[in-house]
Structure 1
Amino acid sequence: MTASLSKVISGWGRYPVAESILVRPEQMRQVRMPEGDSLICRGQGRSYGDAAISSQGWVMLTERLNRFLAFDSVTGLLTAEAGVTLAEILETFVPRGWFPTVTPGTQYVSLGGAVAADVHGKNHHHGGTFAAHVTELELILADGRRQRCSPGKNEALFWATVGGMGLTGIITEVSFRLMPIETAAIVAQHYAAPDLETTFKWLEDADHDDQYSVAWIDCAGRGRQLGRGIVMGGHHAGRDELPSDWEEPLGFSPRQPKNVPFDLPRFVLNRFTVAAFNEHYYRRQGSKKRPFVTNCHDFFYPLDALNDWNRLYGKRGFLQYQVAIPEPHAYEGMRCLLESLASSRQPSFLAVLKRLGPGNAAPLSFPLAGYTLALDLPMAGEKVLNLLRRLDELVLEYGGRVYLAKDARLSPESLRTMYPRLGEWQQIKRMVDPEGRFQSDLSRRLQLTGAP
């Protein structure tokens, strides 16, 4: 193992924090298990809560394990080390006419993290999660063995690793398929929905749907305006859809984000400033009545325009709360969640509603056929924690679940109800890691693993 450093770290939400022992191998041959201690891997640190921190073990940084290993220019099959980021893939392959088939809302996520969290994007109802396009993984198990797995070979280990939050082994290699594109542009269309019923109607309507679709929700809306939002659709532009002044169809350059130089004071984000921003955003985005052509950065990764945008929530950080509710009860459940949030008067600076397709074979994968809502809430101590406990009760009532990659405070009892296949996952975990060597603060909080 390479040299270690003890440092206080957190997830992207900056809550909670933990002093962890960090190690950073420079090459894959240096990767191995620590003697007699637990380990969790950390890619870009973009999981929001405590999934990639450990107050009682080692944290392995995989950022230097970022080499491309093979690419088939006919099928789009890419094999790379797990530390490779989507940003590096975009920079390398978009100019060649290839794009990740599934991408989350940030390009700064590693392949290992994309598998461990089984990330999804604006096209889940059409293309599934990231794992739907993965053909093979390589893991280093707790006993040091290297093990390859896929949907057709060692499939139980494969599906336990997908969505398994890094707790089955060290993901070293990922093979997955990119999709061909003609241009680096997106044809987008916005629709202003005056209420939640219309938002749902347009997300389900084939005339408003597209290759990608998502809705921004104004959480400050109440009464008749509850759940009003902007439904945004889009697809990869063909060459014949580009404006005449679009210089290079596959032109793509890394964005130079602006910095957030300091933590904002707590008083800046309150229900009044959030309401004012939301009103402005609703009117501005809703005024775009016709389809328009934009770039990949603005459509897929708007928040990546700001480095360290999590500093907008101040030193105490924030909690992202993302839930999925199955189709039969999705509208009613989301309405109850938004009503409870509005009555609490806790400001949510960002709220996103997406349609989900069927789930997959992974016991801990988050998406299910229905809808998902993601909320950002400034950390305000017990006040916001109590609110989220009330929202948990609603989610459980409607048969939903919380996304572990965004979680920082869920109870183990709620987890067991939300993920009924948890026991199946734990059985596989005990087979490949009988001593519980792979642990994180999330796994200990949720009682997923015992002490090593």
Structure 2
Amino acid sequence: MTDATTARGASTFDSWGRLDRRPRQAIRPDTFEDEAGTAGRDSYLPFGNGRSYGDSCHNDAGVLIDNRSRGRIHAFDPGTGMLSAEAGVTLSAVLSRAVPHRFFLPVTPGTAHVTLGGAVANDVHGKNHHQRGTFGNHVRRLTLMRSDGRVLTCSDSENPEMFRATIGGMGLTGLILDIDLQLMKVPSAHIQQHTIRFDSLDAYFHTIDRVDAEHEYSVAWIDQLATGRKSGRGILLAGDHADASCDFPDLPSGRTLGIPATPPVSLLNRLTLKAFNAAYLRRAKPGETVETVKWSGYFYPLDAIRNWNRLYGPKGLYQHQSVYPADVAPAVTANLLETARAAGHGSFLTVLKRFGDHPSRGLLSFPRPGFTLTLDFANQGESTLRLLDTLDRIVVSAGGAVNPYKDARMSPQTFAASFPDWTSLEAMRDPAMMSNFWRRTAMAL
């Protein structure tokens, strides 16, 4: 490795779960380009903006390629909504350019601080999968640099197999350089939000077919700690883009709160979560209410709190996201919620959504038809790991899958059951690219 390799502080290259904090080495993309053709096996891994929760963004046996320095938007056509940009551009920067022209991201995850390269590599999804599928469905072209120095143009018509492997390939096929993305025309970026309070999981599943048929977006927050007749209660937030008469300013002010330091213990325990859940539920009136809300609050509520992951304390947090078939979703969802409660774990962010029938382009994309449940747990050591293993078994036995870019500990067997086509990605993996996740799962099979 050349002298251009530099050590950075652990806070710079942490994953969002902050479970394994340590100094990590990184190089700039131009250094990787200079070393093309001389790289050893498993030497590198591209790094976006550190919003993956587990170890899919780390390669502790090698070095990271810090792609954040590649943050230029090459072109944006305000007539067609076609955007061409470097992979280090964040979704926030895309929105700043596009929203004043009445264009929006066709698919967005729950944070705008993801890079375009990270959004492609993880084939992220949003609140409208039932309408528009995954992020990769809207990528028209990308350029990819392999460690042997080749630069490949990848699309449906050029190098299509590498295109599919790179979408959802977690950075293992090479360094994404540039991306062409088709944005979505909207009358306003802001959202006409329908807030529907439901008192049980049965009520949610009774309602969701109608809601998803009528609205572009839908997502449900669940009170994971509620028991008895209240078990599974929550709030369903459906939405559509507001009309052009909306009088909110196009771009948010940018003012945020922040968590300045990590508390010595997790502030998100069962006591505080019960109080928060009760207060949050009271904010929603019974039945259905409609109001226009700012797009930043609907899509990215936690972006308003810098470093909110510090609230989970010095041991960090585990996120568990799974997907399972629709015909078993009511029973599996109830089982997952009850299993976490019985293990003494409370989840701050408990989110339930439907995945539609839109096929993903990506070879190893996580979304598939069914329902997806996301749970966040403060790390309590072995008891948390045992719980997560149990959740995995429930999901896999139901014919479901566990999300790899939210994971930090799934077994190789769980990974193989979730992604039986993993060998196809391994066959197309750049031999110089490796991650802690891939080494821990695929390479152990």
The two structures have a TM-score, normalised by structure 1, of 0.92
Structure 2: state its 5+ residue gaps.
none
Q: Indicate if the aligned counterparts of 1:82 and 1:112 stay in contact, CA closer than 8 A.
A: yes
Q: Which moved more, 1:95-104 or 1:9-18?
A: 9-18
Q: Indicate if the aligned counterparts of 1:161 and 1:168 stay in contact, CA closer than 8 A.
A: yes
Q: Indicate if the aligned counterparts of 2:136 and 2:361 stay in contact, CA closer than 8 A.
A: no
Question: For residue 403 of structure 2, what is the aligned residue in structure 1?
Answer: 403
Task: Measure, in 1, the Cα distance between the counterparts of 2:47 and 2:382.
Answer: 28
CA positional deviation for 1:207: 7.8
Q: Indicate if the aligned counterparts of 2:212 and 2:218 stay in contact, CA closer than 8 A.
A: no
Question: For residue 330 of structure 2, what is the aligned residue in structure 1?
Answer: 331
Does structure 1 residue 389 correspond to structure 2 residue 392? no
Does structure 1 residue 442 correspond to structure 2 residue 444? no
SS of the residue aligned with 1:377? strand
Q: Which moved more, 1:146-155 or 1:262-271?
A: 262-271
Q: Indicate if the aligned counterparts of 1:396 and 1:418 stay in contact, CA closer than 8 A.
A: yes
Task: Measure, in 1, the Cα distance between the counterparts of 2:139 and 2:124.
Answer: 12
Q: Which runs of structure 2 are paired with 1:37-436 in the superposition (5 Å)?
A: 38-206=43-211, 209-240=214-245, 242=246, 246=247, 248=249, 251-266=250-265, 268-286=267-285, 289-358=288-357, 359-429=359-429, 433=430, 436=431
CA positional deviation for 1:20: 2.0
Task: Measure, in 1, the Cα distance between the counterparts of 2:52 and 2:19.
Answer: 11
CA positional deviation for 1:253: 3.6
Task: Measure, in 2, the Cα distance between the counterparts of 1:158 and 1:207.
Answer: 30
1:353 aligned partner, one-letter code: L
Task: Measure, in 2, the Cα distance between the counterparts of 1:104 and 1:193.
Answer: 24
1:22 aligned partner, one-letter code: A
CA positional deviation for 1:73: 2.7
CA-atom RMSD in angstroms: 2.1
1:266 aligned partner, one-letter code: V
Task: Measure, in 2, the Cα distance between the counterparts of 1:439 and 1:70.
Answer: 32
Q: Which moved more, 1:259-268 or 1:147-156?
A: 259-268
Q: How many aligned positions are there?
A: 439
CA positional deviation for 1:349: 1.1
- The 1:421/1:182 distance shift into structure 2, 3 A limit, reads same
- The 1:216/1:147 distance shift into structure 2, 3 A limit, reads same
- The 1:194/1:19 distance shift into structure 2, 3 A limit, reads same
Q: Indicate if the aligned counterparts of 1:255 and 1:297 stay in contact, CA closer than 8 A.
A: no
SS of the residue aligned with 2:293? strand
SS of the residue aligned with 2:311? helix
1:340 aligned partner, one-letter code: T
Deviations 1:149-193 (A, max 9, x none): 112221111111111100011011111101112223211010111
1:135 aligned partner, one-letter code: R
CA positional deviation for 1:331: 1.8
Q: Which runs of structure 2 are paired with 1:3-42 in the superposition (5 Å)?
A: 3-8=5-10, 9-25=13-29, 32=36, 35-36=39-40, 38-42=43-47
SS of the residue aligned with 1:277? helix
SS of the residue aligned with 1:291? strand
Q: Indicate if the aligned counterparts of 1:323 and 1:373 stay in contact, CA closer than 8 A.
A: yes
Q: Indicate if the aligned counterparts of 1:45 and 1:52 stay in contact, CA closer than 8 A.
A: yes
1:145 aligned partner, one-letter code: R
CA positional deviation for 1:13: 0.6
- The 1:61/1:285 distance shift into structure 2, 3 A limit, reads farther
**What is the aligned-residue identity percentage?**
39
Q: Indicate if the aligned counterparts of 2:193 and 2:240 stay in contact, CA closer than 8 A.
A: yes
The two structures have a TM-score, normalised by structure 2, of 0.94
Deviations 1:100-123 (A, max 9, x none): 100000000000000000000000
- The 1:267/1:41 distance shift into structure 2, 3 A limit, reads closer
Deviations 1:175-226 (A, max 9, x none): 1101112223211010111001111222222488411000001001112222
Q: Which moved more, 1:283-292 or 1:56-65?
A: 283-292
- The 1:335/1:33 distance shift into structure 2, 3 A limit, reads farther
SS of the residue aligned with 1:69? strand
1:329 aligned partner, one-letter code: V
- The 1:267/1:126 distance shift into structure 2, 3 A limit, reads closer
Deviations 1:333-360 (A, max 9, x none): 1111111112112011110001101242
1:79 aligned partner, one-letter code: S
SS of the residue aligned with 2:409? coil
Q: Indicate if the aligned counterparts of 1:352 and 1:375 stay in contact, CA closer than 8 A.
A: yes
Deviations 1:65-84 (A, max 9, x none): 01111223332111100000
CA positional deviation for 1:426: 2.0
Task: Measure, in 2, the Cα distance between the counterparts of 1:161 and 1:417.
Answer: 21
Q: Indicate if the aligned counterparts of 1:10 and 1:50 stay in contact, CA closer than 8 A.
A: no
CA positional deviation for 1:6: 4.8
SS of the residue aligned with 1:297? helix
1:327 aligned partner, one-letter code: A
CA positional deviation for 1:265: 3.4
2:17 aligned partner, one-letter code: G
Q: Indicate if the aligned counterparts of 1:160 and 1:168 stay in contact, CA closer than 8 A.
A: yes
SS of the residue aligned with 1:224? helix
Q: Which moved more, 1:208-217 or 1:118-127?
A: 208-217
SS of the residue aligned with 2:165? helix
Q: Indicate if the aligned counterparts of 1:18 and 1:55 stay in contact, CA closer than 8 A.
A: no
1:357 aligned partner, one-letter code: G
1:421 aligned partner, one-letter code: D
1:64 aligned partner, one-letter code: S
